[in-house]
């Protein structure tokens, strides 16, 4: 599905990513974990051609995306839920989700916003509330719902649990797994919360100072206490 080969990325003259390579198989669920500032968000933005100057190969279903603009990557089946959520504050929850129709995969019909809301119990009583009136956790649910409504082949979640209460994190984990199962969507997750990442994914990459320092399954990472202590301990 998605293959990243030897990706380097820059903001101005500052190099953030160093020869990053990773892969997400069709329908696969992969986590990118690391401390704050390790390069996770830069990696996601580079995959979407959404800010950094990136050099390397980003292959989507075997095709090199090259300089393909962000909106075309979305319409090819990639969906990014950014760290800052980007909820439209002046329109309702239902209208925010309806925005997904502009990013639907070519040849596909977007999911009905009402049916999407039903998959997120927290949003059902909030569908007519303005986006700007929502809490952080509620906004995160809306951002995920909006991405799912476009029926992406791969959903990319960037730090979805940041600032959320534990009870919201637990519900979000259940919702993410459910909607990925129902839509047969792959998942690429950037996260610092290891519990949440384990609930949602099968494979994991550890990133530190813009370099991949580990890749494997969660059981293998758990066996490498030195990796967890060196690169993930706060």
CA-to-CA dists, residue 58 to 67, 69, 120, 209, 223, angstroms: 10, 13, 32, 20, 31
Q: Which of 44-53, 55-64, 93-102 has the lowest mean pLDDT?
A: 93-102
Q: DSSP string covering 82-126, please?
A: -TT----TTSBHHHHHHGGGGGPPTTPPPPPHHHHHHT-GGGGGG
State the total domains in the chain.
1
Q: Residue 11 is encoded by which pair of tokens?
A: 């903001």
Q: What is the pTM of this model?
A: 0.90
Query: In this structure, what token pair is assigned to residue 149?
Result: 């409504």
6-49: per-residue pLDDT in tens?
999 999 999 999 999 999 999 999 999 999 899 999 999 999 99
In this prediction, residues 100-124 reach a mean pLDDT of 82
Distance from chain centroid for Cα 158: 4
Q: Pairing relation of β-strands 29-33 and 53-60?
A: unpaired
220 confidence band (pLDDT: 50, 70, 90): very high
Angstrom distance (rounded) from CA 203 to CA 188? 10
* CATH number of the domain enclosing 93: 3.40.50.300
Structure tokens at 31: 């986590």
Dist CA 20 CA 17 (whole Å): 7
Q: Residue 184 belongs to what domain range?
A: 2-231
Give the rounded distance of the alpha carbon of 187 from its chain centre: 7
């Amino acid at each position: 599905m998605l293959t990243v080969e030897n990706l380097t990325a820059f903001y101005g003259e500052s190099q953030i990513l160093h020869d990053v390579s990773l892969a997400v198989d069709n329908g696969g669920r992969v986590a990118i974990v690391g401390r704050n500032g390790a390069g996770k968000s830069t990696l996601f933005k580079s995959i979407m051609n959404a800010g950094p100057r990136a050099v390397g190969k980003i292959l989507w279903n075997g095709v090199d995306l090259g300089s393909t603009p962000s909106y075309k990557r979305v319409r090819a089946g990639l969906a990014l839920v950014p760290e800052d959520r980007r909820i439209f504050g002046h329109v309702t929850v239902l209208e925010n989700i309806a925005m997904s129709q502009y990013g639907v995969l070519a040849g596909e019909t977007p999911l009905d916003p009402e049916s999407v809301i039903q998959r997120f119990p927290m949003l059902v009583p909030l569908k007519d509330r303005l986006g700007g009136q929502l809490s952080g956790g509620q906004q995160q649910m809306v951002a995920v719902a909006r991405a799912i409504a476009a029926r992406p082949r791969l959903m990319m979640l960037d730090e979805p649990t940041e600032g959320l209460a534990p009870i919201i994190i637990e519900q979000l984990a259940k919702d993410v797994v459910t909607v990925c199962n129902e839509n047969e969507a792959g998942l690429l997750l950037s996260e610092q919360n290891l519990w949440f990442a384990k609930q949602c994914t099968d494979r994991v990459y550890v990133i530190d100072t813009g370099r991949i320092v580990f890749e494997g399954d969660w059981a293998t990472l758990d066996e490498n206490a030195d990796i967890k202590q060196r690169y993930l301990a706060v």
